Structure 1
Amino acid sequence: MAKLGTIGRSGLLRKPNESMRLVMTTVVGVVFGFFIGISFPTVSITKLHFPSSIISYIEDRNSGVTTQALLNHAWTSAKNQRANSSGLDSSDSLKIYVPTNPKGAERLPPGIVVSESDFYQRRLWGDPSEDLPFKQKYLVTFTVGYDQKNNINAAVQKFSENFTILLFHYDGRTSEWDEFEWSKRAIHVSVRKQTKWWYAKRFLHPDIVAPYDYIFIWDEDLGVEHFNAEEYIKLVKKHGLEISQPGLEPNRGLTWQMTKRRGDREVHKETEERPGWCSDPHLPPCAAFVEIMATVFSRDAWRCVWHMIQNDLVHGWGLDFALRRCVEPAHEKIGVVDSQWIVHQVVPSLGNQGKAENGKAPWEGVRERCRKEWGMFQTRMADAEKAYYKKMGITPPNTTVV
């Protein structure tokens, strides 16, 4: 009986303890739930996507996953979801658009934009930073046919290693030029039956030739016995010429008075022509004028001239009268270098690339187009100026086209 009594008392005492434990568990659960709630103030329970492993835990309490692990995983998932939502909300603000970038490159970060190029030749191996131990400062181009190879070879010898050599081949013959050592380092562009201004418009974009201080755009029939390119550059810089040409031997062929060599000076910038030819002594053909056979441009002047070259008018006639529009004051920045002079040999090589039609020789058709293009160019320039002045509400000057 004593034992039974003892057992009875123990059973009676155990019930209050279990009640107290239940109360404490409930309180702890409520407090714990409160802290869980304030830990996720912005996360809806419907937005918490629990992975299948957690769902499996809920379904199988014997999986061994602790409550802390469950909470950690839930918290990480919530943070990731908020980050993803934030990224989606701000995606527009992260898009790159830089209106000051070159046209078409507005969506690139400015630091990656390379808007200019060059004719420097690169290696297929090694470190790119070591490709160019020496960079040429000037560019000379010749529009050539293979029949004039000896003349071009002589001309190239007058240009130092400071010059990049670029040949435009109108006859399609390029590999034969490798008999000259310098040709193996030159740039060759071959398109049949085209003129130098056609090539220039397509291959001498200002952003391509930007590394060069001066650009020589020359014909193939020039005698250079009395010419040195480095000395020429010195005189161009000394006299502030942005557009220039070497003086022409006055006793060879027809030429303007302005471009004839004078033996008593380094440079001249003006001349006297026939009576009535120069209404203004500062305008062509008495000043601000050079011919297009052996023209030399500064980098800045060429940027303007390139834009003035018409895409379909390939002979360039009339262009020499309009070059003055690209420098200011033109009568001071356009001139002829007398002490470095050349001979125009007047070889009709390109003219012979024409086509005989209607009983006319090939060269006759070429010359006819030259004259036609001159008139077309003058008309376009006059119309463009009139349209500009009209748009601006300005009375145009009396002389807009020469």
Structure 2
Amino acid sequence: MGKHRSHSPSAFMRKPSETTRLIITTIIGIVAGFFIGNSFHTVSITKVLLPSGIISFIEDRNTGQATEAMLNHAFSSEKNQNSNHSNQLSAEDLKIFVPTNPKGAERLPPGIVAAESDLYPRRLWGDPSEDLPSKPRYLVTFTVGYGQKANIDAAVKKFSENFTILLFHYDGRVSEWDDLEWSKRAIHVSVRKQAKWWYAKRFLHPDIVAPYDYIFVWDEDLGVEHFNAEEYIKLVKKHGLEISQPGLEPNRGLTWQMTKRRGDREVHKVTEERPGWCSDPHLPPCAAFVEIMATVFSRDAWRCVWHMLQNDLVHGWGLDFALRKCVEPAHEKIGVVDAQWIVHQVVPSLGNQGQAQNGRAPWEGVRERCRREWGMFQNRMTEAENAYYKAKGISLPNKA
């Protein structure tokens, strides 16, 4: 007969006991997990939306401390949002909309809006507040070609460290100015075959040049032997000129009597032109008039003039007759500074940037466009003013 295996009571009880312990352990784990999960309710990482810039920043292995600081800031913002939600604030309540902000920035809190900029170079290191030991108060721009390098070098040396120097290069030859010490501190903008007012419209927006009290928009062919920029500014302020230019040497490059230098005074604002040219002594070319070769604008005047510049009319012909619309009274705030005078050398270097067509020299096509733009600008101004008065219900005589 086979042996019969005996079973003790303890053997029968072991299996049910282990099952019970497993069940109890599972229940305890579930309960503990529930309470632990609730304890982390105030910090929900899944709700923190990190911008892509922060994510890429986190991936930099050498920025551990900065990453920690940014994450702390993100979690702090999330905590503040949760606090707001606890006060029963809706998502609509938390939306920002400030109609007085600049257009397009209405959804930003006013404290973060930087509506203006500047042309001050900044360092790539250090504390931003220590970048600028001084801030130039004035801006001078020259539209240049390499052929006038020596002349521009002489001109720039007439401007103190109170001036930011900005060169617009129409011939693309920028690196060839590097041997001039001041050129290393200047700002260079290079776009080939463009004219002065094309650059001004695109790179001298009023919100960019806002830190400067005065903006000089000058040609490259000006002799400055008798000119000092700091003294010029003093006279402009003394006589309340918002738009001005230095007097021109009488024997060189003179087109208008208004811009001719007077040897017996500091400033003049009126003149006598040819008979029949000035029906009103307060209007151009006998008053409220300067040329566009060496114009100087106050910050406020430039804000108006910039808006008057046309995107497609790049030579500026006709602009000198319209500058008066930007200051009031124009015959008192536009003038010529005689005590600081210059020579117009009449170098047709920009004309050589034109293109020869139909047997005509490059400069001939440039000059023809200049005259064409003058007529176009006058027509646009007249049509715009007539449309304005018509909308206001004002009828003008044909002469106006």
Q: How many residues align?
A: 340
Q: 1:74 & 1:271 partners in 2: Cα distance? A: 87
Distance 1:280 1:398, change over 3 A: farther
Unmatched 5+ residue regions in structure 1? 1-59
One-letter amino acid of the structure 2 residue matched with residue 271 of structure 1: T
One-letter amino acid of the structure 2 residue matched with residue 90 of structure 1: S
Distance 1:176 1:280, change over 3 A: same
SS at match of 2:373: helix
Distance 1:149 1:84, change over 3 A: closer
Structure 2 match to 1:243:
243
Structure 2 match to 1:101:
101
SS at match of 1:283: coil
Q: 1:360 deviation in Å?
A: 1.1
Structure 2 match to 1:283:
283
Q: 1:74 & 1:355 partners in 2: Cα distance? A: 77
Matched, 1:121 2:154: no
8 Å contact kept, 2:122–2:132? yes
Structure 2 match to 1:31:
none
Q: 1:98 deviation in Å?
A: 1.1
SS at match of 2:273: coil
Structure 1 match to 2:137:
137
Structure 2 match to 1:341:
341
Structure 2 match to 1:368:
368
SS at match of 1:211: coil
Structure 2 match to 1:259:
259
Q: 1:395 deviation in Å?
A: 2.5
Q: Deviation string for 1:198-254 (max 9, x for gaps)?
A: 000000000000000000000000000000000000000000000000000011123
Q: Deviation string for 1:59-105 (max 9, x for gaps)?
A: x777786xx9999889989999xx79957971012111111111111
Q: 1:311 deviation in Å?
A: 0.3
Q: 1:179 deviation in Å?
A: 1.2
SS at match of 1:339: strand
Of all paired residues, the percent bearing the same amino acid is: 81
SS at match of 1:292: coil
Structure 2 match to 1:32:
none
Structure 2 match to 1:16:
none
Q: 2:268 & 2:302 partners in 1: Cα distance? A: 21
SS at match of 2:335: strand
Q: Deviation string for 1:146-177 (max 9, x for gaps)?
A: 01000000000100000000000000000110
Structure 2 match to 1:166:
166
One-letter amino acid of the structure 1 residue matched with residue 94 of structure 2: L
One-letter amino acid of the structure 1 residue matched with residue 250 of structure 2: P
Q: 1:396 & 1:132 partners in 2: Cα distance? A: 53
Q: 2:361 & 2:355 partners in 1: Cα distance? A: 7
Q: 1:119 & 1:85 partners in 2: Cα distance? A: 41
8 Å contact kept, 2:171–2:192? yes
Q: 2:235 & 2:306 partners in 1: Cα distance? A: 24
One-letter amino acid of the structure 2 residue matched with residue 187 of structure 1: I
Structure 2 match to 1:378:
378
SS at match of 1:335: strand
Q: 1:194 deviation in Å?
A: 0.4
Distance 1:157 1:78, change over 3 A: closer
Map 1:39-54 onto structure 2 (within 5 A).
none
Q: 1:239 & 1:379 partners in 2: Cα distance? A: 33
Q: Deviation string for 1:231-281 (max 9, x for gaps)?
A: 000000000000000000011123200000000000000001111100100
SS at match of 2:178: helix
Q: 1:392 deviation in Å?
A: 1.1
Structure 1 match to 2:17:
none
Structure 2 match to 1:270:
270
Whichever of the two has the greater Rg, that structure is: 1
8 Å contact kept, 2:143–2:167? yes
Distance 1:215 1:72, change over 3 A: same
* Greater than 3 Å deviation, 4+ residue runs: 60-65, 68-80, 83-89, 396-400
Q: Deviation string for 1:29-55 (max 9, x for gaps)?
A: xxxxxxxxxxxxxxxxxxxxxxxxxxx
SS at match of 2:304: helix
Map 1:2-401 onto structure 2 (within 5 A).
90-396=90-396, 400=400
Q: 1:143 deviation in Å?
A: 0.3
Distance 1:64 1:180, change over 3 A: same
Q: 1:234 & 1:79 partners in 2: Cα distance? A: 64
Distance 1:153 1:64, change over 3 A: same
8 Å contact kept, 2:245–2:295? yes
Q: 1:263 & 1:93 partners in 2: Cα distance? A: 68
Structure 2 match to 1:19:
none
Structure 2 match to 1:49:
none
Q: 1:396 deviation in Å?
A: 3.2
SS at match of 1:245: strand
8 Å contact kept, 2:244–2:290? yes
One-letter amino acid of the structure 1 residue matched with residue 247 of structure 2: G
RMSD between aligned residues: 2.6
